[in-house]
A and B are shown apart, each in its own frame.
Chain A
Amino acid sequence: MSTAIDAAQIRRRTQELLAAHPPATTGRTDFLQARFDAGLAWVHYPVGLGGLDASRSLQPVVDAELAAAGAPDNDPRRIGIGLGMAAPTILGYGTEEQKQRFLRPLWVGEEVWCQLFSEPGAGSDLAALGTRAVRDEGGDWVVDGQKVWTSSAHVARWAILIARTDPDVPKHQGISYFICDMTDPGVEVRPLRQITGEAEFNEVFLTGVRIPDSRRLGPVGDGWKVAQTTLMNERVSIGGARIPREGGMIGTVARTWREQPALRTHDLHQRLLTLWVEAEVARLTGERLRQQLVAGQPGPEGSGMKLAFARLNQEISGLEVELLGDEGLLYSDWTMRRPEIVDFTGRDAGYRYLRSKGNSIEGGTSEVLLNIVAERVLGLPVEPRNDKDVAWKDLAR
């Protein structure tokens, strides 16, 4: 499947795109649409859906050529949930019509996506969710319930949504997966202020929201399986980015260390070096994982990357606040805002320290990820469970 096109051909196609749509004289959206149509958006996607059925390893060739030519990108920080979670799920389970309708504006960034999964009563135990989707006479769905911690809901046009379609079977079986229109009058989004002072996430109330059956992803009752695709991709997309040496948070601390000798202490030096080494090893581990993917030998390492990413971000930003001393006592701005992007590293050390606390919670907590590694990678026995064979409606809550 990924043998047809090589780096030289990809480079030539990229040059053709640049020639036909010079970035200097082409509007941003026009350029991105043309890039999508040329199959250079995500080259490993199918032809006609922004890709060329090429090897994933060729994407950096395109990105480098376009960056060198000063072409605009699709600002992935604004559309992370769409790119990292909605798109692979639509690609995997969507109908031809759904793929044609949704993938292009998603990738271009014309339509922002959010993820309506977590609920007040269903976090780590996501399969316990209680938002109901009931079929009406016309075959469409009516959704009622509450979602929570929904990042970017205030800027989203669409949402991936999981809801209970059958309460009479065990919890994993009665779930279906939908694409929800965030402009529906039944959707109400309220900000939830975070420890950073701002509200990146929201609570979302769904009241009589109508979803046509054509916006269901995958079979009725199979939503849990479809959601696994989303969650796997989420974990890889958090902490899976390719970075250069000193690319992540460690770079910021290292710069401060070099520029401000007065801040240095022996204790901080030892801790900084330990973290520098660990950050470099985490970077190499990610690099090795990508090489395995490209070589067609995907390893289970992916499940571990987010664990390492979360711990390192937390320890490094904690060290940074301490290193800054007097400055570490200050915070840039507590004003309640509703940012358009999800930002892990922006602003000051205090922000990084606080925001990184979420890294071990969002997309599956570190405790839950350790369970997954222990059971699925190491094959250790599962905890005794009492919820497998009980109908959802009879579960304790």
Chain B
Amino acid sequence: MTAQTEAAQAPDLLYSEAEEDLRSAVRSLLAGRADAPAVIAGIESDTPYDLRLWESLAAGIGAAGLLVPEKLGGQGATHREAAVVLEELGRSVAPAPYLTSAVVATEILLALGAGDGPVAGLLAELAAGRKVAVLALPFSTPPADGAAAMTGTLERTVTGVAEAEAADVLLVPTADGLYAVETGGDGVAVQALVPLDLTRPLATVTLSGAAGTLLADAGPAAAAVSKGLLAGAGLLASEQLGLAEWCLTETVRHTRERHQFNRPVGSFQSLKHRMAQLWLEVVSARAAARNAADALATGSPDAPLAVAVAQAYCSRVAVNAAEECVQLHGGIGMTWEHPAHLYLKRAKADSIAYGTAGRHRETVAGLVELPAP
């Protein structure tokens, strides 16, 4: 029975020194270019993206090419390193099309496995940070629905596509296979929506008479899209972890400083217990997220379960952390000026992205043979 068989090798749940170095580089970049006032100013402008930030992250640090082998122009690293980048992006909630382009779209192209041709060409562009590509499916699509997405034609409207505005290329699943469509081309309209999470723009994509390059037939494309969504869901857990950690740290800091009744509010036991509980959840989320990243990195047969477990768990932790953060800040937590709302909105949107916790629990039920009545 699947449930009882242990993965042959225990997952490595720690961070390596190289991963910690990468974290420091990303963290200092984000601290310098995307502090809270900068992010808030960004979401109030026409485009939330800071192009120089993306350039430094994607090309300067080389984060965009982490999943891509060196011979295809990337860094030849793994999901473990990409997960560390996402922890830091979660901690800062800076808008950057990393999860959608450098993880999901990149994983799809890698899964198509071409050594040259248009797939390899596009991969090299993504890895170098010269282009951004996103999958033209609703952001809420869980990995389990990846294969079913291979329907329709290039004449279509897809709504709720994350970071389409930042994209140069759309990966469009159709009944014939997967197409690459340039967003700048004729017959492509990207209409911005008003998203709950302003740090991750959503758009409606309308294709009508657009030209596309067929990257793969429906069979291999279905497997590749599922794989891309699996990587997206798995590494989203690391974003959620980073986000939750920021919320906990800030809440502890605030409640230690804020005095009421002639003592720090953080000395009241009901608050201490809530923060201690949250700490335990964050510690647990870290184990779940590292497990998913490691399973993806090693191509473990356990990866689908590790990802479903991580999503089923970490979604709730991130939302809880952000909600506690608002509550324990009191009135200031309710203001537009304080960044807590950015985290609340990101956490809530993340809890729907790539499938809700409930959808992932259904996946768990199937994988470990605990069927519904």
- Which A residues are closer than 8 A to B by beta carbons? 244-246, 254, 257-258, 261, 264-266, 269-270, 272-274, 276-278, 280-282, 284-285, 287-288, 291-292, 295, 297, 299, 301, 304, 307-308, 367, 370-371, 373-375, 377-384
**Is A277 in contact with B284, judged by CB distance below 8 angstroms?**
no
**Is B370 in contact with A380, judged by CB distance below 8 angstroms?**
no
Answer whether A377 and B279 are a contact pair too, CB < 8 Å, given A277-B313, A282-B284.
yes
B288: A residues at CB distance < 8 A: 281, 284
Can you name 30 A-B pairs with beta carbons within 8 Å? A244-B6, A257-B370, A258-B370, A261-B373, A269-B372, A273-B365, A273-B370, A277-B313, A281-B285, A281-B288, A281-B313, A284-B11, A284-B13, A284-B284, A284-B291, A291-B13, A292-B14, A304-B279, A307-B280, A367-B273, A370-B276, A371-B269, A371-B272, A377-B279, A378-B252, A378-B279, A379-B256, A380-B271, A380-B275, A381-B256
Determine how close the nearest CB of chain A comes to the CB of B15; give it in whole angstroms.
10
**What's the dominant secondary structure at chain B's contact region?**
helix
**Is B373 in contact with A380, judged by CB distance below 8 angstroms?**
no
B373: A residues at CB distance < 8 A: 261, 264-266, 269
Smallest CB-CB A-B distances: 4 pairs: A374-B272, A264-B373, A381-B267, A373-B276
**Is A270 in contact with B272, judged by CB distance below 8 angstroms?**
no
**B4-49, CB < 8 A from A:** 4, 6, 10-14
**Is B370 in contact with A304, judged by CB distance below 8 angstroms?**
no
When chains A and B are docked, how far (Å) is the Cα of A272 from the Cα of B264? Answer: 40
A272: B residues at CB distance < 8 A: 370
| B372 interface neighbour in A264, A291, A377, Cβ under 8 Å | A264
When chains A and B are docked, how far (Å) is the Cα of A278 from the Cα of B357? Answer: 12
**Is A291 in contact with B12, judged by CB distance below 8 angstroms?**
yes
Determine how close the nearest CB of chain A comes to the CB of B194; give it in whole angstroms.
32
Q: Write the chain B residue with the least CB distance to A265.
A: B373
Q: Write the chain A residue with the least CB distance to B286.
A: A288
Q: Write the chain B residue with the least CB distance to A299.
A: B283
**What's the dominant secondary structure at chain A's contact region?**
helix
What total count of A-B pairs have CB within 8 Å? 134
**Is A276 in contact with B284, judged by CB distance below 8 angstroms?**
no
B12: A residues at CB distance < 8 A: 291
When chains A and B are docked, how far (Å) is the Cα of A258 from the Cα of B371? Answer: 8
**Is B273 in contact with A370, judged by CB distance below 8 angstroms?**
yes
When chains A and B are docked, how far (Å) is the Cα of A276 from the Cα of B260? Answer: 41
A261: B residues at CB distance < 8 A: 371, 373
**Is A285 in contact with B283, judged by CB distance below 8 angstroms?**
yes
A276: B residues at CB distance < 8 A: 364, 368, 370
Q: Write the chain A residue with the least CB distance to B282.
A: A304
A382: B residues at CB distance < 8 A: 267
**Is B361 in contact with A277, judged by CB distance below 8 angstroms?**
yes
Answer whether A258 and B369 are a contact pair too, CB < 8 Å, given A278-B313, A285-B287.
yes
Answer whether A246 and B361 are a contact pair too, CB < 8 Å, given A287-B13, A380-B275, A381-B267.
no
**Is A379 in contact with B372, judged by CB distance below 8 angstroms?**
no
Q: Kindly state whether residue B290 has any CB partner on chain A within 8 Å.
A: yes
**Is A384 in contact with B267, judged by CB distance below 8 angstroms?**
yes
Q: Write the chain B residue with the least CB distance to A285.
A: B287
**B297-324, CB < 8 A from A:** 309, 312-313
Q: Kindly state whether residue B255 has any CB partner on chain A within 8 Å.
A: yes
When chains A and B are docked, how far (Å) is the Cα of A257 from the Cα of B373? Answer: 10
Answer whether A273 and B361 are a contact pair too, CB < 8 Å, given A281-B313, A308-B284, A371-B272.
yes
**Is A381 in contact with B266, judged by CB distance below 8 angstroms?**
yes
Q: Kindly state whether residue B263 has any CB partner on chain A within 8 Å.
A: yes
**Is B252 in contact with A246, judged by CB distance below 8 angstroms?**
no
